[in-house]
Amino acid sequence: MSTSQFPPPASPSPALTSSSSSSSSMRLWRPAAQRNLRNQWSKLSTFRQQWVAACSGGKSHATSLVNAYLSQTFVPAMKFGALSDMVGIKEKTLKKLSKQQSSCRIKLLSSYKEMVAVVVEMVNVSRSLRCYMKPSGGSIIQFSGSKEDSDDGGDCGGIPVFNFLNVSAFETMAEELVEMFKREVMLKRLLVMELVSLSCEVPLSWSAELYHGEFDDLSKCSLYSMEVDAPILPRLREDNLGISSVSHTNQPTSEILQIYLTTWLAEINVDSHRMDEILAMVGEEIRLAF
C-alpha cells in the first residue's frame, strides 16, 4: 500500500499550541516567581531590622552630641567648688567636651549613611519582585530578575503567584512600605544637618553633601532633585505636604534640641501598625513568617 494513501498528520491549531505553551510557561514560571518573592520579602524584612539598628545607634550618638554641646554652654558659668584651684580646669573641660562633640558628629553621620544605604537596598528590592523568562539556547526554560524580552511583563499576565495576589499587588505593598522609610530618612537628614552644625561657624546648608557619595545614593531612591540640584525636602505621610525651604536654627535652646531628639525617636513617617499589617498579609500569602 502506498504511503501516499495516508494524509499527513494534522498540525495543531495555533490557538491550541498557544494555549498549551502558555499553560506550560505558567507552570514553570510560578515556582520561580514564588522563590523570588520569598527571597525579596525576606530581604525587605531584614533591611527593616537593619534600619532599626542604625536608627537606634544614631539616636544614641545624637543624644551624646547634644549633651556635649549643652555642657559646653553651661561650663563657663559653672562653679567648680573645690576644683576651682586646679589651673585651667574649665579650659580642659571645654576642650574635652569639644572633642567628644566632634566624635559624636562623625558617628552620627555614619549612622545616617547606614540608614540611607538601607533605604537604597529597600528600593532595589521593591523593584525586583517581577520574574522574567530568560532566553536560553537549550530546552530548559530559565528565569531572571532582569527584563530581556519587551513582551514579557514579568507577571505571567497578572495571574496569582501563590493563592490570591499577583505580582502587582506585592509591588504595591512593597512600595507603600518603602515610601515610609524614604520619607523618614529625609526627615532624619534634616535633623542630622541641624545637629552636626552645632558649634559650627558656618552651618551646613540643605544642598551640601553630608558624606561622599550621598547624592548618588539619594538619586537611586528618587530623593534627589536634578532641577534644583539638591535633595528633596522632607514631607510628612499624613498630608503629603513638606516644608518649602530649610533654614538653620542659630544657637538652638535645650528645648528645641530635645524636640529634635524626640522627633528622631518617634519616626513619625513610619506607620508601625500598617507596616506590621502589610508584613502579616504578605507572610500569610507566601507562607513565610517575618
Which parts of the chain are beta strand (E)? 132-134, 142-144, 224-225, 230-231
Conformation bin of residue 136: beta by default, left when phi > 0, alpha when psi is -120 to 50: beta
The confidence score (pLDDT) of residue 251 equals 83
Is residue 161 within 8 A of residue 170, CB to CB? The reply is yes
DSSP for residue 203: P
CA–CA gap between residue 43 and residue 45 (Å, rounded): 5
Q: Could you tell me the three cell numbers for 95?
A: 576642650
Which tens digits make up the pLDDT trace of 72-109?
Answer: 998 766 677 766 767 677 888 889 999 999 999 999 99
Q: Which sequence spans correspond to the domains of the chain? A: 22-286
Which tens digits make up the pLDDT trace of 200-209?
Answer: 988 899 999 9
Contacts of 10 (CB under 8 A, 6+ apart): none
Find where cell 576644683 sits.
Answer: 83
Q: Which pairing describes strands 230-231 and 142-144: parallel, antiparallel, or unpaired?
A: unpaired
Residue 134: band (very low, low, confident or very high) from pLDDT cuts 50, 70, 90: confident
Cα–Cα distance list, 263 to 3, 59, 260 (Å): 87, 10, 5
Report the predicted TM-score, pTM, of the whole model to 2 decimal places: 0.85
Taking 50 as the threshold, does the pLDDT of residue 227 lie above it? yes
CA–CA gap between residue 237 and residue 211 (Å, rounded): 26
